[in-house]
Structures are given as C-alpha cells and as structure tokens.
Amino acid sequence: MKVAVVGATGMVGTVMLKLLEERQFPVTELIPVASERSVGKKVPYKGVDYSIVGLATAVEMKADIAIFSAGGDTSLEWAPKFAEAGTVVIDNSSAWRMDPTKKLVVPEINASELTSEDKIIANPNCSTIQLVMALSPLHDKYKMRRVVISTYQSVSGTGVKAVQQLENEIKGIKGDMAYPYPIGRNALPHCDVFLENGYTKEEMKLAKEPQKILNDTSFAITATAVRIPTAGGHSESVNVQFETDFDLQEVRAILSQSDGVTVQDNTDTNTYPMPIYAHGKDDVFVGRIRRDESQPNTLNIWIVSDNLRKGAATNAIQIAEYLVANIL
C-alpha cells in the first residue's frame, strides 16, 4: 500500500504520520509531500527519515491513497491530478465537501456509501465531525428538528501561527498575529471569514455539512463559532430539539453504545468532557446531558474532541482503513 501524505510538515500532516504508525496502517511505501520550499527535507516515520517530494513528483509516483491536508487551493488544483493517475484522494480541506459529486464521510456513520468510483473523498470540518458523531445515533432514534450550536474552538484549529501567537502572549513576547486581536485571556467570535449573511464560513459548515453526511435536510442547524485560548481540543454546547420525546437514561445508553463516543456525565463527581481529557485521544466525549426545561422534546449536551485527531487526521485514516478493508 503506497501512501502519500500531502502537507506532511503541517500540524495535521504531522499527526497523520503519527497515526499511520500508531494504527499500524499497512504502508509499504510512504510518500511525504509538501510545498516546494520543503522538498528535500526529512520527516521521520517508524524510525526512518523520508525525503519530502513535491506535488508533481508525488503524482508520478502513483500512490494507492493520498491523504491531503494542504489547504483548499492546493486540493482543488492537485486532487484531480492524483485521481487521474489512479490515486484515491482523501481530502481534509473544505474544497470538495459540498460538491454534490463527492462523498462527505465520517466512517462510523456513512462509510458504507463509498464505492470504487469514489476517487476524491471529502473529510468533514473538525467541528462537524464531533457534532455528527454525537447527534447521528440520537437522530436515528428521535429525529432532530432544530439544532443550536455554540463552539469553543482551540487555536490549533487555525494552525501553527495561531498556536505560536498564544504561546507568545503567555510568555509576554511580541510576535506575528494570526488573529486580529489577542487570543490570550480573550474569546473571539470569529472562526474563518465572515460571509454576506453575517455568519462565518465555519458557522455555515456546521449548518450544512451534517445534512449532507446524514443525507437529510429535514432538520436545521444554526451556529456561533468562537475561538478560545486553548491549545488543542474543540468544545461544543449543543441544544437539539427532536420530533419525539426522549428518556435521559436512554439517551445516555444510546451514546454509550455508539462507536467512537465516550459518555462523561456525572455531576456528582464533576465528571464532564474537557479539552485536557480529549487531548491525544480519538473518541468524541459527551456530557452535561440534560433536558432543556424551556421547551418540549429538547436536549442540551456538551461535546468535546481532539480536533487534530478525530476532527481531522484520525477520521481521514479511518476512511483509508475502510477503503483498504472493503474497496481497494
């Protein structure tokens, strides 16, 4: 299995290489790919240093799978070239997510929709993945009508420059700014760029992507996305109104029995999900499970996940694992 990792030197790419090794993915030849300025540099994998190659060279090497985490523009230009060379592309950018000809996949939910015809497969937004992991089994049982989300997203979701900004602020060092304001001791209601409707791109991803993943437009989602000064792990406050009523113990049981979901919900012991618990783990953690007492059939939950792992790299590699087991 010849595997290319495009964006191998970035935050997500580095985690992808780590996870390919951790999960013992059957890599027979690794092709680390990055921008021209990184060509020739080395990246470690399983104790061996591999030389980074450029995109054009990587296409010619005809990988079986290419996992992209290199930005939307790169994906739009290069994913079709890899696909034409016979490589299956799993893309972590937003470039292909809402393309009606491309599948948007969270393996626990809809990997079974994949076929040998799918040459470019989209990995959802990090905040979307953890959201649908918790909501999908509840939607199957109670049918969602409306979802209201507020996110508390870590700086690692922006990238290395944002992590460095936070670290500089903690140390009192002046440096490059990834955000228009300080992030330390602050909260920015500004994830991604603002659109004409007043929402950010991140908020609209949360509104639209779950409908595509679940293949259902019968429910509506509205979101407010906020950046907070945590180094890793996204959190979400989610209010979901269902068509039918629910029993809280049954909700906990459904979530506990869902693959990739861990329930942390005991207020007597102050047990609830937090980014420091989710760090370095692949599960999606759900807690603060309680009824919304202001209207019927409505639930409040709190969802936390490591945005670089299940929110990005792990989900992409799980897609690759499904392809190897069932299609390739």
Which CATH number do you get for residue 64? Answer: 3.40.50.720
Write down the pLDDT at residue 92. Answer: 97
Q: In 3D, which of 24, 32, 238 has the Cα closest to residue 127? A: 238
CB 38 within 8 A of CB 52: yes
Tens-place pLDDT, residues 116-157:
999 999 999 999 999 999 999 999 999 999 999 999 999 999
Write down the pLDDT at residue 16. Answer: 97
- Please check whether residues 131 and 252 belong to one and the same domain: yes
Write down the pLDDT at residue 258. Answer: 98
Q: Which residues form the catalytic set?
A: 126, 234
Write down the pLDDT at residue 167. Answer: 97
Q: In 3D, which of 7, 23, 15 has the Cα closest to residue 318? A: 23
**Domain carrying residue 62:** 2-124+312-326
CA distance 41 to 204: 37
**pTM for the structure as a whole:** 0.97
User: What CATH number does residue 176 fall under?
Assistant: 3.30.360.10
Write out residues in the chain with pLDDT < 50, as ranges. Answer: none
- Please check whether residues 184 and 46 belong to one and the same domain: no
Q: Is 173 exposed, middle or buried (CB count within 10 Å of its CB: 0-12, 13-18, 19+)?
A: exposed
Number of domains observed in the structure of the chain: 2
- Please check whether residues 163 and 302 belong to one and the same domain: yes
CA distance 263 to 134: 10
- Please check whether residues 136 and 268 belong to one and the same domain: yes
CA distance 223 to 206: 7
- In three-state form (DSSP H/G/I as H, E/B as E, the rest C), the secondary structure along 4-27 is EEECCCCHHHHHHHHHHHHCCCCC
- Please check whether residues 118 and 150 belong to one and the same domain: no
- Please check whether residues 97 and 113 belong to one and the same domain: yes
- Please check whether residues 140 and 34 belong to one and the same domain: no
Q: In 3D, which of 215, 206, 216, 219 has the Cα closest to residue 145? A: 219
- Please check whether residues 135 and 276 belong to one and the same domain: yes
Tens-place pLDDT, residues 300-322:
999 999 999 999 999 999 999 99
